[in-house]
């Protein structure tokens, strides 16, 4: 999303956000202190829940459930970073960002959201896939697992005679039902691929992720732009490194509350594939980390 500089107030300062890596030299320049961080994520499939949170981040509206205290004399104005450009978050800018974002997201949803008919067929496919995954997880035979997965992923066609022989060889029960399930899945998948636009997205698919990175109050770290800048760099560098095909639309530093914290909003549509596959990307990232 691009902000038109001409629409900003005259006193609004724009600085190119410094994508400065957190190096050893940089850390040596500041006072070292061990601190804890808290990160919270919220996923949104539509504007209903997102609108309230976004208005809070933009300082346009306070949700009645918000539990925090405003600082009437913050050490620095709140900050917005849009397309790498750092700006003071004024009400004029906030209203412009909200209007642009709502227009773009609404347009994208209209253009990509699946029709009721397509959504129904995709739900049928999801249920078939769920049953197959349950069978895969319950089966100890690696050869059977690999065959089913390869057919589901389209790496090989389903040959009923071969699948039946494989199931019988490993003494898998209910052979006819196993065959029918995999056959129904491949048939339904092919039907959807042929009749539904590749862009069709389920209404329940998460489109935007909000990340909130906080230095909790027990750390006794005074609120400052230096600290929120550190949080911003950490968040941006992490997602640019590990999820380069998902764009951070904008992020905000709030210096008028009781803790150093930032909000960032991530587009969950993969810019390379066009798919909403962020959950799969997160899983692929987490598994090696978990196993180390």
Q: Indicate if the pLDDT at residue 3 is higher than 60.
A: no
What CATH number does the domain containing 79 carry? 3.30.930
| 23, 43: one domain | yes
Q: Indicate if the pLDDT at residue 20 is higher than 70.
A: no
| 70, 185: one domain | no
Q: Of the residues 195, 229, 254, which one is the last residue of a structural domain?
A: 195
- Residue 2 inside a domain? The answer is no
Domain count, the chain: 2
Range from 16-30, 150-164, 223-237 carrying the lowest mean pLDDT: 16-30
Q: Indicate if the pLDDT at residue 146 is higher than 50.
A: yes
Question: Residue 37 belongs to what domain range?
Answer: 12-112+204-291
| 173, 82: one domain | no
Range from 142-151, 214-223, 259-268, 273-282 carrying the lowest mean pLDDT: 273-282
pLDDT digits (tens, 9 = 90+) for 96-128: 999 999 888 878 877 777 667 777 888 899 899
- Residue 62 inside a domain? The answer is yes
- Return mean pLDDT, the chain: 83
- Residue 40 inside a domain? The answer is yes
What's the 3-state SS for the chain? CCCCHHHCCCCCCEEECCCCCCCHHHHHCCCCCCCCCEEEEEEECCHHHHHHHHHHHCCCCCCCCCCCCCCCCCCCCCEEEECCEEEECCHHHHHHHHHHHHHHHHHHHHHHECCHHHHHHHHHHHHHHHHHHHHHHHCCCHHHHHHHHHHHCCCCCCCHHHHHHHHHHCCCCCHHHHHHHHHHHHHHHHHHHHHCCCCCECCCCCCEEEEEEEECHHHCCCCCHHHHHHHHHHHHHHHHHHCCCCCEEEEEEECCCCCEEEEEEEECCCCCCCCCCHHHHHHHHHHHHHHC
């Amino acid at each position: 999303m691009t902000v038109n500089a001409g629409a900003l107030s005259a006193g609004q300062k724009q600085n190119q956000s410094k994508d400065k890596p957190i190096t050893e030299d940089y850390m040596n320049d500041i006072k070292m202190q061990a601190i804890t961080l808290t990160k919270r994520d919220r996923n949104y499939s539509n504007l209903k829940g997102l609108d309230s949170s976004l208005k809070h981040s933009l300082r346009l509206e306070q949700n009645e459930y918000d539990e925090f205290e405003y600082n009437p004399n913050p050490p620095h104005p709140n900050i917005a970073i849009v397309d790498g450009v750092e700006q003071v978050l004024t009400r004029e800018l906030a209203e412009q960002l909200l209007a642009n974002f709502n227009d773009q997201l609404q347009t994208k949803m209209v253009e990509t959201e699946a029709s009721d008919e397509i959504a129904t067929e995709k739900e049928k496919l999801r249920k078939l896939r769920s049953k197959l995954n349950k069978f895969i997880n319950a089966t100890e035979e690696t050869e059977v697992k690999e065959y089913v997965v390869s057919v589901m992923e389209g790496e090989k066609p389903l040959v009923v005679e071969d699948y039946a022989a494989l199931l019988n060889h490993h003494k898998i029960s209910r052979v006819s039902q196993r065959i029918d399930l995999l056959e129904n899945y491949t048939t339904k998948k092919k039907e959807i691929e042929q009749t539904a636009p590749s862009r069709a997205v389920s209404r329940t698919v998460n489109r935007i992720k909000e990340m909130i990175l906080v230095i909790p109050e027990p750390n006794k770290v005074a609120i400052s732009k230096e600290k929120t800048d550190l949080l911003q760099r950490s968040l941006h560098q992490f997602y640019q490194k590990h999820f380069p095909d998902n764009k951070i639309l904008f992020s905000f530093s709030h210096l008028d509350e009781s803790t150093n914290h930032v909000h960032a909003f991530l587009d969950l549509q993969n810019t390379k594939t066009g798919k909403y596959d962020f959950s799969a990307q997160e899983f692929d990232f987490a598994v090696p980390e978990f196993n180390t």
